[in-house]
Structures are given as C-alpha cells and as structure tokens.
Amino acid sequence: MYDRRWRELAVSYRLFSVVVNPGEVGDQRKAAEELARVIGEKPEVLENRLKHAQDSFLLAEDLDAQQAERIEDLQLKGVTCRVEEARFYPGHATASHVLGFMGDRVGLAGVEGKYDTVLQAGGFRKSNIPDIDFKGQETLGTGGADLVLTLDMELQKQLENRFRGYLAAQGAEKGMGLVIEPASGRIVALVNQPSFNPNYFWKASESNRVNRIYNHVLNKALIRPVLARAAAIEREGLEGPPLLPVTVAATDYGFSELKLEAFEQQIQLYGSVFGNWETGPGSQQEEGGEQVVTGVQVGVTLASLVNGGWRITPYVVDSIYDHKTASRYPRNNEATEKIHVLDPALGVKIRRDLFTNWLLEQDNLVAITAEHAQMRREKAYSRFSIQEMFVGFAPARQPRYLLLVAVEQDHLYPRSNDKGSGLAALEAMGKELLAGFVRSSSAETVSDRPPERSRENLQQFFISKRLNFREAPGKANEPVPVMPQMRGMSLRKGLQQIDKFKMKVRINGSGRIVAQYPLPGQSLVGIDECILTLDSK
C-alpha cells in the first residue's frame, strides 16, 4: 500500500528459514562451520544442536534472499530453506487505524481487512472492489496489485506529532483527528489516540485498536451552535434578513428540540457512513432515547455545510496499480456517494453566511471550538467526562482542508484559562495545523507508476527483526519454544496445545480456530501473549 505520493505504507517482504534434518546430515562439524558463516552463529553452538536433535528442527529464521541463496549453494544434505511473506509497516504506528493489520497472512482490520481479496496473491474481479474503474478489464491482480490510498504521509505525520504533543501537555490520553477534502471526500489524514503498532498488533489492547473517529460517541452539543445557525438561515430563506444574535429569550435562534431534531434528520447528521474501508454506525441511541453521533458523522455533516449542502461519503482508497498491465486504475466517480441534503440555492447561502461568526480573516481560515461536560449513570456510580473539539477549514473562501480534532478526559478538575491549556490551546494547535496543511500542499506531479522499492524500508525491516531476536535461556542445546499449528482445532484442543507455554490468551469470536498469532513455527522467546480468532462458519 502507498500514500497518494507513492510513499510506502505497507509492504510484503520474503523471509527465509532454515530447517535441518540431522539424520541426513553427513559431516555435522563441516555443516555447522559452513552454516555458521551464513547465519552469523558460532559453529560449536550449531554443531551441538545437530548432535543432540532427534527430529527435524528450525535452525534459523528471518533470513533474507541473499542468505537463503548462499545456503542453497552449499548443497548440504538434510538442510532446506522455506520461504514465507511477512508484512511490514515502515511508519510503525503512523496511520495504523487506517491501515489495520494482518495475522496469519490474512487481513484482519482496516484497509488490510476490507481489501484482503485485492492484496492477496491472485486475480480479482470488479465485484471484489466495485469502487475501481477497471477500464474494460475483466480481471486484475494476476501479476500482483498495489493499493494507492488518499492519505498524505507528510500531513499525517504533522497531525500525529502535533496531536500527541498536545495530549501529553494537557495530561490527556484519548482523542481523535480527521483531515478531509470537503469537495471530494478524500481522507488525507486520520489519527486516533491511544494508538498501536500494526507490526506488533497483538501487543496492543483491543481498546487501542478501535478506530475512535468511526466508533466513539461525541456529544452533539459540541456542534449545536453551528446546526442551530444553519437551521435559522434555512428558515429565513433566500430573501431573509441577516440573523440576529442569539439571546437569552431565543436560545438556538428560537428552535425547539423537535424542530432542531428535524433539521438534523434532514441533513443526515445520524446517517451511516458506508461504502468505505470502515463501516460507520448509523443512527445510535443512548439510554433514554437520545440519538448520538460519532466523529466521522460530525465531520461529514460539517463538510456538507461547507459544500453548499452536498453530503459526500469520505473514502481512503484512491486507485489500484496492476503490475501485469502496468497501469493505474482510478476510483470510479460514481462510487462516491453524493446526496444533496439542502436546497441548492439555500445551500449556497448557508455556505456563505453560516460561518461568519467563526471567520478569522487575518488567518484566512474558519475556526470553531466547543467543550461539553457530561455525566453518565452507571449503576450506583456516576461517570464524568469532558469533551473538547476544534473544527476548522482553510482557506476560508474555498476550503481545501477540513480539520476535526476532539479530546476526551475522564476526570473533572479545576483548569487554568491561560493560552497553554483548554480550548485556547486546542484552537492554537488547530490553527497551526491548518496553516501548515495549506503551506505543505503543492501541485507536484505524481507518477502513474510506483517507484522502486525503498531500500531504506527493507533495511529497517530486517533490523527490526534482528533486534527482536533474543537468545533462548539456559543451555545451548535446549530446544527453542515455537508456536504450534492450531488452525482448524476446537478452542479446547488449541488451549491444550499452548498450555505448557504459560501465555496469556486473547480469544476473538466463537467456533473453531481460523487464525492465530504468533504464527505457527514462530519462536516464542520473549512472547507472553497470543491471540486466537474463532469462527463458527
């Protein structure tokens, strides 16, 4: 997978492991000496393992193609090389909630899960990815295919680095950020905190892997002033007078809850965000019947008001590069859902007049901030939280980017009102980011073909593999514990297989085991937890 400027987001590399059948090896000392020169082990250690092994065993793993070729050239009896592909995410935690992760060579979340059929070896048809214009081709992918996403890694890293710094300064842990192009629906950057590293996804808690922008509830009171103002402009009509300020006697411009709710339904605030790499929930309700919204629903709704009433479903998959035909196949224009949720003429008026209260002409952007403290009853206890939100778009007249950032804190305490904390700090961060996005954007021409694979990323991959290697404790001839093969087993039998390793076990689903992590045959040195995925089908 690449970002929109052909920077590698996820890449597969070939890894080799060496398997030895000691009964077939003739001169064990000579074999140990020759193998030691290739894999970087002491000859006496290898010889000791050969002498004491009863059955075939894994001698070394995570070797590159050059090492495997050197071992094959030795033509040693009883020594064979096995190959498998390993997925690597060179950005580590960067954009992890978009990319998702793979386990046992199967996509399990994010783009990896949604487009697993496309990313796996072999051909695929239009029915597998209807968003793409196949240009008359019946099948693509027979020679390999790459996905090109709408993400811009430069902007993604700007958002992530600045947002993490802000959370640390505020003593907060949970938050979300989204950057979209309102006119097209392209998601340019997306961040969730806490985050995780998809290279080691099994180490992250399930809550860290949740895409908060699509699944976490924001209180709609955060955008109530914007919605009430938009509804008031629509009520006054094309020839209506300018809006008067909100007063104590006419809060929300005089709208009742029911009338404001009707406007929210009209602009599809609670609409499902579907047809994308992640399915956003549709209309949700809290206890008591009040409808709630997610971050992506808020972002899409505000973008529709910026767009003059066009509600555009956001997306992250831009195109496919097919290696056999050496061609790039773009997204089908008809695949992007566009709905007019406001009368076209009124939509233009709302776009022109709606955001005047929040326009910062000197900065050439619009900035909206809001906070909401809420309490939820949980049995005999009360849970308090504070949600803070920044929404802005720039440039102000013809917005290229819309930024939404939301932070949640699960505790209440007195906070200072200086510029280094609270909404003042959130607004300062949002304005700084938007200005940076506009400066970073350029009309740079992007090639229709991917560049050669990054040598730097390949080197980083093997370095990370070797840094994670740990010597087995105890004597050199003690067998290294490896993960058993459990796919197809019942849960009970699977647990019996790994009970001796005394690992924590995380179980997803029910039925028989269909995927496992660590993978079969992988060393368990330094690993104290495994994940089993079950499916009743």
Condensed to tens digits (0 to 9), the pLDDT of residues 66-108 reads 889 999 998 888 888 988 888 999 999 999 999 999 887 888 8
Rounded to whole angstroms, the Cα distance separating 423 from 358 reads: 14
What 3-state DSSP class applies to 236? helix
> Which runs of E-coded beta strand occur in 432-528?
504-508, 512-517
Phi-psi region of 125 (alpha: psi -120 to 50; beta: other; left: phi over 0): beta
Q: Would you state the structure tokens that stand for residue 388, as one six-digit string?
A: 């803070």
pLDDT digits (tens, 9 = 90+) for 246-265: 665 567 887 888 899 999 99
pLDDT, tens digit (0-9, with 9 covering 90-100), for 5-56: 999 999 999 889 888 888 888 888 888 888 988 888 888 888 888 887 778 8
Query: 224-233, pLDDT tens digit by residue?
Result: 999 999 999 8
Picking from 412, 338, 403, 402, the residue whose alpha carbon sits closest to that of residue 376 is 412
Specify the pLDDT at position 414.
60
Q: Please report which confidence band the pLDDT of residue 151 belongs to, taking 50, 70 and 90 as the band edges.
A: very high
Residue-wise pLDDT for 450-496, tens only, equals 999 998 998 888 877 765 544 433 344 455 678 888 888 888 888 88
Please tell me the predicted confidence (pLDDT) of residue 256.
85
Percent of the chain with pLDDT over 90: 37
Domains and their CATH numbers in the chain: 1-90+454-479 (3.90.1310.10), 153-440 (3.40.710.10), 481-537 (3.30.10.20)
The residues, ordered by sequence, that sit 6+ positions from 485 with a Cβ below 8 Å of its Cβ are: 520, 521
369 Cβ contact partners less than 8 Å away, ≥ 6 residues apart = 388, 389, 390, 423, 426, 427, 430
What is the mean predicted confidence (pLDDT) over 109-115?
Answer: 91
Please enumerate in sequence order all residues whose Cβ is within 8 A of that of 231, keeping only pairs 6 or more positions apart, or say none: 253, 255, 259, 260, 263
Which of the given ranges, 215-219, 320-324, 442-446, has the highest pLDDT on average? 320-324
DSSP 323-340: TTTTEEEEBPGGGS-EEE
pLDDT on residue 202: 82
Using an 8 Å Cβ cutoff, are 246 and 240 in contact?
no
Contact 480, 470 (CB under 8 A): no
pLDDT at 472: 37
